[in-house]
Chains A and B, each alone.
Chain A
């Protein structure tokens, strides 16, 4: 056991820190100002430019091989980069669905042509991806998907509807599952497609989220023609490919621990400040503050533990469901506690009519137990696959 980063990793950290401190838009002093909201056209484009700036300096996708814009570094370096990224409170990654979810799947299942075609523009933010799993009648029961793809000539023709596609309102491409064999058992007849959202027959309808902003979208497909080259993995075997993507979503890649340790550190700061102004409130909430802090740290260490196992040749299996439960609950605990520390001020919106950082973070944290497979579903998975309990 050795819990120190080595010299090379420390140098990598310093290099990342120096670049981020000089370039990252951030609410912190000495940085370029934060970007406008991601869920507006203008804000979306500003976030896209930031992805481009990171790509030019080769910080967008540090763990990818150099030909695709990365630095070819390992898992721990990626975690270090994330720590630095959150430390300076740099912008939300508008490209995250592509970079953190689709890319690992492309590396595993994609052909060389597909990797060459999609990875670079993904890294640079030129092409932003959204996820198309959910449908009006396929939520937790994802295998109930009804959107179809039919063979016509040498191509596929897509029809149906996807919904709740995060960042779908302004994204360029969608990845998702479509039913290619309606006769097969539900999990068998699905295929994983990559679809440009400007294709003829695609209609995108923005949906306002809890905070009133267009964070996701419905996407309608009417006879959308897609060539074979845009099938990821084998035809009819999309379920297995999709499970790799959702495994990434719950497992290591989507929610790096830095996000929570940074928020927990801010929570402790908030607690210390309220100690002077509202000592009784602070005293009452000390226990909750410490709990949130411990959970964030537990998630960080657990991630290091898992990363070590992966580097030693192990796999992340059903434990990814435990990760998802833990980060989503931790995120909620951090933000709930912060709002309690704010007391009567918690309900106030900012001068600009938008929620402040804690309220905004709370609204977002509330989605955690829902997306990436609800927490009820994850508890079922943990009970059945980790504890070996019989299926219902």
Chain B
């Protein structure tokens, strides 16, 4: 029993953190929100060069061939920095899914796209459960489950329409049903169902990891603000009501974290309990991030309620990801066997 990250994993996180401090500032996030897809292909390329996009890509396809435990702190860091790029979708969902595609066509798709993802030259879209047919904007390839089958749809813009989400970096496009054909069909229900479920579990886990990072950032920023903002001739952080709000939110984040790390381990080990562990992680992280968002907003007062202040960039990520990949209530219901993917 050794429940901790190793030196390399911690070092990789520091690298990503330093990089994000330079290349993923709030101003960069705002610019991304104004851009075509909501994220930046240039930054995607840099993430490829950093090795971040290759973590879960097998070594024979140009990646590092590591697991979700190695990815956990990087996703958390993505949440902390507010990274707008589709990191969780590509590293936690698409890359492992591509690695498992069955058949000759599956091998072709894998050989073509995995190395491109690892290098940051392509992004592969995956459908968010419950929003069937919608994938992230800017995807070069969409892996779509439809009518029980799995398809690989390759196109510059696999869309018939765009849906914005509350998070300006998360734009969704609909994959046109007319683009699905026997020519790009990867497999039928028998093979696709377990792939779809496993993909959903990894997506839910990865969203939980990002949420923990975003929650942490919001609490830290609110604590910074509470030290500086003066009312009644004292910093508002000296008021007990403010302290207790922040301590309560921090508590939920600190105890969500080990659930997230444990779920990563269970997924890597193919533990039969992994789906339950994922649900615990996602439920706890969704709630922690929602609480962190409302707490941070309350501590900031009106300035936090503006477009101009940066807080909303993280709040919106939190709200989006808290509801995506199964919300807290859905995951709790799944834990008791009431529902499933």
Residues of A within 8 A of B (CB): 1-6, 9, 76, 268, 271, 286-287, 289-291, 293-295, 297-299, 301-302, 304-305, 307-309, 312, 319, 322, 325-326, 376, 378-380, 382-384, 386-392
The CA-CA distance from A5 to B223 in the complex, in Å, is: 38
Whether B243 pairs with A271 at a CB distance below 8 angstroms is no
CB neighbours of B244 from chain A (8 A): 376, 379-380, 383
In whole Å, how far is A304's beta carbon from the nearest beta carbon of chain B? 5
Instruction: Say yes or no: is B280 at the interface (Cβ < 8 Å to chain A).
Output: yes
Instruction: Say yes or no: is B69 at the interface (Cβ < 8 Å to chain A).
Output: yes
The CA-CA distance from A271 to B333 in the complex, in Å, is: 13
CB neighbours of A384 from chain B (8 A): 243
- Of all chain B residues, the one with the shortest Cβ separation from A384 is B243
Whether B1 pairs with A298 at a CB distance below 8 angstroms is no
Whether A1 pairs with B237 at a CB distance below 8 angstroms is no
Whether B2 pairs with A389 at a CB distance below 8 angstroms is no
Whether B240 pairs with A380 at a CB distance below 8 angstroms is yes
Whether B4 pairs with A286 at a CB distance below 8 angstroms is no
Instruction: Knowing A290-B335, A379-B247, A383-B243, say if A389 contacts B265 (CB, 8 Å).
Output: no
Whether B259 pairs with A294 at a CB distance below 8 angstroms is yes
Instruction: Knowing A4-B1, A304-B3, A387-B250, say if A297 contacts B243 (CB, 8 Å).
Output: no
In whole Å, how far is B233's beta carbon from the nearest beta carbon of chain A? 13
CB neighbours of A391 from chain B (8 A): 238
In whole Å, how far is B226's beta carbon from the nearest beta carbon of chain A? 6
Whether B262 pairs with A301 at a CB distance below 8 angstroms is yes
Whether B237 pairs with A390 at a CB distance below 8 angstroms is yes
Whether A298 pairs with B255 at a CB distance below 8 angstroms is yes
CB neighbours of B4 from chain A (8 A): 1, 305, 308-309, 312
Whether A2 pairs with B1 at a CB distance below 8 angstroms is yes
Whether A290 pairs with B250 at a CB distance below 8 angstroms is no
Number of A-B contacts (CB under 8 A): 138
Whether A294 pairs with B284 at a CB distance below 8 angstroms is yes
Whether A271 pairs with B255 at a CB distance below 8 angstroms is no
Interface size grouping (class) on chain B: 35 or more
Instruction: Knowing A1-B3, A6-B1, A308-B1, say if A290 contacts B336 (CB, 8 Å).
Output: yes
Which B252-294 residues have C-beta < 8 A from chain A? Answer: 254-259, 261-262, 265-266, 280, 283-284
Whether A298 pairs with B5 at a CB distance below 8 angstroms is no
The CA-CA distance from A382 to B219 in the complex, in Å, is: 13
CB neighbours of A6 from chain B (8 A): 1
CB neighbours of A307 from chain B (8 A): 3
- Excluding A1-B5, A1-B265, A386-B247, 10 further A-B contacts by CB distance (< 8 Å) are A2-B1, A268-B336, A286-B336, A290-B336, A294-B335, A298-B256, A298-B259, A383-B247, A387-B223, A387-B250
In whole Å, how far is B340's beta carbon from the nearest beta carbon of chain A? 14
The CA-CA distance from A287 to B287 in the complex, in Å, is: 13
Whether A308 pairs with B259 at a CB distance below 8 angstroms is no
- Of all chain A residues, the one with the shortest Cβ separation from B332 is A290
CB neighbours of B108 from chain A (8 A): none
Instruction: Say yes or no: is B59 at the interface (Cβ < 8 Å to chain A).
Output: no
Contact with A along B1-26 (1 / 0, CB 8 A): 11111100000000000000000000
Whether A389 pairs with B1 at a CB distance below 8 angstroms is no
CB neighbours of B329 from chain A (8 A): 287
Q: 25 pairs across A/B with beta carbons < 8 Å?
A: A1-B2, A2-B2, A271-B336, A291-B283, A298-B280, A298-B284, A301-B261, A302-B258, A304-B3, A304-B258, A308-B2, A312-B4, A322-B250, A325-B251, A380-B240, A383-B246, A387-B246, A389-B226, A389-B227, A389-B235, A389-B238, A389-B242, A390-B234, A390-B237, A392-B240
